């Protein structure tokens, strides 16, 4: 008889738990996780409502695949097939995507596998399991299979990584190339629906998402402009409206430059490889205070006023969690760990383009729904830059986080995903659990990063 408590790889490692939860006597589920996240966020002093049990009890070094509760690692097709047979596991867990084996080295010279902290925080405060997808070692599993599975989880966290999205060769040595990561992130951005999990893109993930926005808009423009006709569009009005908008998007994209405050010209247009992500003026490592994002001056920045105005409308229309958290907490200090940054111009442009496409589709959506352009209705509705960071009084990273808004064409309901250049899962010393004394519930309650990470999960799960 087959022992169903064993995963395909567990004959030489730790058996998988087939019931979600590790600290709770009755296990965990969507409601219990959501309630416990809410309790954690309610104040900064309440006692831990979960069992007083160490998460390092069965995994003393707290490493992936070395013991519970980090036993669920999808490192092969066999692991993935086992997971698909047990939907209860992925529906009551966070799916953690690793583009690379670590996000860099901290001041102590330790490589920082930040995904471990994601799993620790989620388990400690809400007894929420995590399932790891280490794409750098497993390779990219079939996106048509993996995306529906992870989109059925409680949330998807796309972690950071040491390579640069500006240099495809920096991914050499891993089993998932930059091109494959682009393919994966684009598919994930298009998967947000009324029944899907929110996504949180961190650091490298934040940068991959920015590149994906521009790539998706370029694909939309190219496909729309190449069509001679749309089925059932007898008078050609739908296609004409779309092509007019797409030609305008291309016109602005072709003329929009990206320039740093030091005068360095990063990109001449949206066709340049560094249009979405470029080098930061200086590397940011360590704690930074999050500041409200301020719109640029059109004359000084060279950014068209229509892009700036469109973003100000988006900011007024939506609540982006991180921006309002700055109000709730008065001051947020979060760990930064990067030398590249998402360009402000690219996100302002993408927000404007998404809104134009969405509004143009509205009166013609019944025609597009049965056409080759149906995928356009899966695009985000708007992007909002939520905050910035400064160093020595000067803004250094204008686009430190974004909220990706999706608007349902029929119900008008809004769903959100989030991206952040900073690492809310890392504490100030940039060390991972296993290399440091594991933080207590009380310590996490007063940590800005842990609270922000919990708030993103809590808000996203409500949609």
DSSP H/E element including 129:
strand 129-134
336-357 pLDDT tens trace: 666 789 999 999 999 999 999 9
- CA distance linking residue 264 with residue 250, whole number of Å: 24
Which pairs from 167-174 meet CB under 8 Å and 24+ separation?
Answer: 171/100, 174/100, 174/101, 174/135, 174/136, 174/137
DSSP assignment of 144-209, as one string? HHHHHHHTTSSEEEE---SS-TT-GGGGBTBSS-HHHHHHHHHHHHTT--TTSPPEEEETHHHHHH
SS (H, E, C) 444-461: HHCCHHHHHHHHHHHHHH
Report the SS3 class of residue 397.
strand
Buried b (16+ CB within 10 A) or exposed e, 69-99: bbbbbbbbeebbebbeeeeebbebbbbbbbb
- CA distance linking residue 228 with residue 225, whole number of Å: 8
pLDDT at residue 8, rounded to an integer: 52
Decide: pTM greater than 0.85: yes
- CA distance linking residue 54 with residue 39, whole number of Å: 20
pLDDT at residue 262, rounded to an integer: 77
> In 10 A of CB 463, how many CB atoms?
15
Q: How far is CA 269 from the centre of its chain?
A: 25
322 touches 425 (CB < 8 A):
no
How many degrees, rounded to 5, is the angle at CA 288 between CA 286 and CA 292?
Answer: 155
> In 10 A of CB 296, how many CB atoms?
17
Bridge-based pairing of strands 155-158 and 93-98 is parallel
Report the SS3 class of residue 344.
helix
| Residue ranges in the chain whose pLDDT is less than 70 | 1-13, 281-286, 327-331, 336-338
421 touches 341 (CB < 8 A):
yes
186 touches 216 (CB < 8 A):
yes
DSSP assignment of 5-60, as one string? TS-TTGGGSPPPPSSS-SSSTT---HHHHHHHHHHHHH-SSPPP-S----TTSS-T
Report the SS3 class of residue 81.
helix
> In 10 A of CB 305, how many CB atoms?
11
pLDDT at residue 234, rounded to an integer: 87
- CA distance linking residue 85 with residue 343, whole number of Å: 42
- Which among 356, 362, 363, 420 is positioned nearest to 382, based on CA atoms? 356
pLDDT at residue 324, rounded to an integer: 76
DSSP H/E element including 138:
helix 135-138
By the 10 Å C-beta count (0-12 exposed, 13-18 middle, 19+ buried), 285 is classed as: middle
């Amino acid at each position: 008889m087959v022992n169903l408590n064993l995963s395909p790889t567990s004959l030489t490692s730790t058996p998988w738990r087939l019931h979600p939860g590790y600290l709770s006597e009755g296990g965990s589920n969507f409601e219990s996780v959501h309630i416990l996240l809410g309790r954690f966020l309610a104040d900064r002093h309440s006692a831990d409502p979960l069992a007083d049990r160490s998460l390092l009890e069965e995994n003393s070094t707290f490493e992936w695949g070395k013991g519970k509760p980090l036993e669920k690692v999808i490192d092969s097709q066999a692991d993935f097939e086992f997971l698909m047979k047990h939907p209860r596991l992925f529906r009551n867990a966070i799916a953690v995507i690793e583009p690379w084996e670590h996000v860099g080295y901290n001041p102590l010279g330790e490589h920082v596998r930040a995904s471990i902290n994601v799993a620790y925080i989620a388990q400690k405060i809400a007894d929420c399991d995590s399932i790891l997808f280490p794409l750098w070692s497993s390779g990219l599993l079939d996106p048509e299979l993996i995306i529906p599975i992870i989109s059925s989880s409680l949330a998807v966290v796309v972690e950071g990584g040491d390579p640069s999205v500006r240099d495809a060769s920096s991914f050499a040595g891993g089993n998932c190339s930059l091109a494959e990561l682009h393919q994966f992130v684009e598919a994930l951005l298009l998967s947000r629906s009324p029944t899907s999990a929110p996504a949180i893109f961190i650091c490298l993930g934040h940068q991959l998402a920015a590149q994906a926005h521009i790539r998706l808009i370029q694909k939309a423009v190219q496909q729309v402009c190449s069509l001679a006709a749309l089925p059932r569009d007898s008078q050609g009005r739908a296609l004409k409206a779309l092509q007019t908008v797409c030609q305008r998007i291309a016109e602005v994209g072709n003329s929009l430059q990206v320039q740093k405050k030091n005068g360095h010209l990063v990109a001449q247009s949206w066709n340049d490889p560094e249009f979405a992500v470029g080098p930061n003026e200086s590397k940011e490592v360590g704690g930074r205070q999050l500041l409200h994002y301020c719109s640029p001056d059109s004359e000084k920045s060279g950014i068209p006023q229509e892009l700036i105005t469109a973003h100000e409308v988006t900011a007024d229309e939506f609540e982006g969690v991180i921006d309002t958290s700055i109000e709730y907490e008065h001051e947020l200090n979060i760990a930064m760990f990067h030398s590249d940054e998402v360009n402000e111009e690219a996100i302002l442009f993408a927000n404007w383009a998404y809104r134009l496409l969405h509004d143009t589709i509205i009166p013609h959506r019944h025609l597009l729904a049965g056409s080759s352009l149906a995928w356009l209705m899966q695009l985000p509705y708007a992007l909002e830059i939520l905050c910035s960071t400064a160093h020595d009084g000067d803004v250094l990273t204008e686009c430190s986080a974004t909220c990706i808004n999706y608007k349902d064409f029929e119900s008008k309901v809004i769903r959100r995903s989030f991206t952040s250049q900073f690492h809310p899962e890392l504490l100030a010393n940039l060390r991972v659990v296993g290399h440091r004394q594991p933080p207590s519930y009380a310590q996490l309650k007063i940590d800005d990063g842990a609270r922000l990470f919990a708030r993103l999960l809590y808000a996203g799960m409500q949609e």
